[in-house]
């Protein structure tokens, strides 16, 4: 029997990176997954690759009406919802993001996806998960949500907001008796499309950037998407039944070692 056998999950930003890896693993462990992304072709390709167990849906996480549709369609399709992985995110347009050069448009774009998208997702999913008997919300933040990020101020602020919102959602759901846990995960550098954007922005070249970043990682290597997916699986499963309002840092010891 799989670790999330019989559970239903929504995974946003599932066309690539953490979302795709997590969707694959959740299906492997018995869940039915609704994989969403603005890139419908990407999640459709994932559904074809995995086969049964995944339904692909187009989804812009910044649109309130899209969230209402995705949750309603999931409930219509499966009759229940137990897991939400708020994974969709952006790094930015590539424009400078220090406090002197970041534009209001860039700030709003990054926070609109990374922060507003998580807020809308939690708000839309909590009633459905509560009606289904409870479950787990996993919000993807970053180590950028814990430490200062002077060169990517909008991204860091958005991920810090996700960290705090997670704890507020957990507190609310616990006090309401909904049996919904809400936790955040904080990846370090991983070679995803978004991760490569960060490396190019900071170092001019993603391969050069990766070589430089790994020098500061105590475990001596960058993370993989599977490292993140297994943390998602644990938080989605009943194995983490007494864990809420917590954060899991997955960075090879980068920030913990100073």
- Tell me what pLDDT residue 203 has: 54
Cα 238–Cα 243–Cα 247 angle in degrees, nearest 5: 125
Spatial distance between the Cα atoms of 165 and 160, rounded to a whole number of angstroms: 9
pTM listed for this prediction: 0.94
Element (H, E) at 18: helix 17-28
Q: Between the CA of residue 26 and those of 21, 216, 244, 249, what are the distances in Å?
A: 9, 31, 20, 20
Task: Answer yes or no: are the C-beta atoms of 120 and 41 closer than 8 Å.
Answer: no
**Whats the size of the chain, residue-wise?**
258
pLDDT at 200: 58
Tokens in use for 144?
């950028």
Strands (E), the chain: 8-11, 32-37, 54-58, 83-86, 135-140, 180-187, 247-250
**Which structure tokens are listed for 113?**
């996806």
The vertex-83 CA angle with 116 and 238, nearest 5°, equals: 135
Q: CA torsion 165→170→172→173, rounded to 10°?
A: 140
| Interatomic CA distance for residues 192 and 225, integer angstroms | 8
Q: Active-site positions?
A: 155
pLDDT at 257: 78
**Domains within the chain, CATH numbers bracketed:** 8-188+226-248 (3.40.50.720), 190-222 (no CATH)
Under-70 pLDDT residues of the chain:
191, 194-210, 258
Q: What are phi and psi of 234, to 5 degrees?
A: -60, -45
Predicted pLDDT at 92: 85
């Amino acid at each position: 029997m799989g670790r999330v056998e019989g559970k239903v999950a929504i995974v946003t930003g599932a066309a690539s990176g953490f979302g795709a890896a997590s969707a694959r693993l959740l299906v492997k462990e018995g869940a039915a997954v609704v994989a969403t992304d603005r890139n419908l072709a990407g999640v459709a390709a994932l559904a074809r690759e995995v086969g049964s167990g995944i339904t692909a849906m187009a989804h812009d996480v910044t649109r309130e009406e899209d969230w209402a549709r995705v949750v309603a369609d999931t409930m219509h399709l499966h009759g229940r919802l137990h897991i939400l992985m708020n994974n969709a995110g952006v790094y930015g347009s590539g424009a400078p993001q220090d406090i002197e050069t970041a534009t209001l448009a860039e700030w709003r774009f990054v926070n609109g996806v990374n922060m507003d998208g998580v807020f809308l997702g939690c708000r839309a999913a909590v009633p459905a998960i509560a009606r289904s008997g409870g479950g787990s919300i996993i919000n993807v933040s970053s180590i950028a949500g814990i430490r200062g990020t002077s060169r990517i101020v909008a991204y860091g602020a958005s991920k810090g907001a996700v960290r705090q919102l997670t704890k507020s959602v957990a507190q609310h759901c616990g006090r309401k008796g909904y049996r919904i846990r809400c936790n955040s995960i904080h990846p370090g550098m991983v070679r995803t499309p978004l991760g490569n954007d960060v490396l190019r922005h900071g170092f001019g070249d993603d391969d050069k950037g990766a070589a430089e970043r790994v020098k500061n990682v105590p475990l001596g290597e960058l993370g993989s998407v599977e490292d993140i997916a297994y943390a998602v699986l644990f938080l989605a499963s009943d194995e983490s039944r007494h864990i809420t309002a917590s954060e899991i840092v997955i960075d090879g010891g980068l920030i913990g070692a100073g």
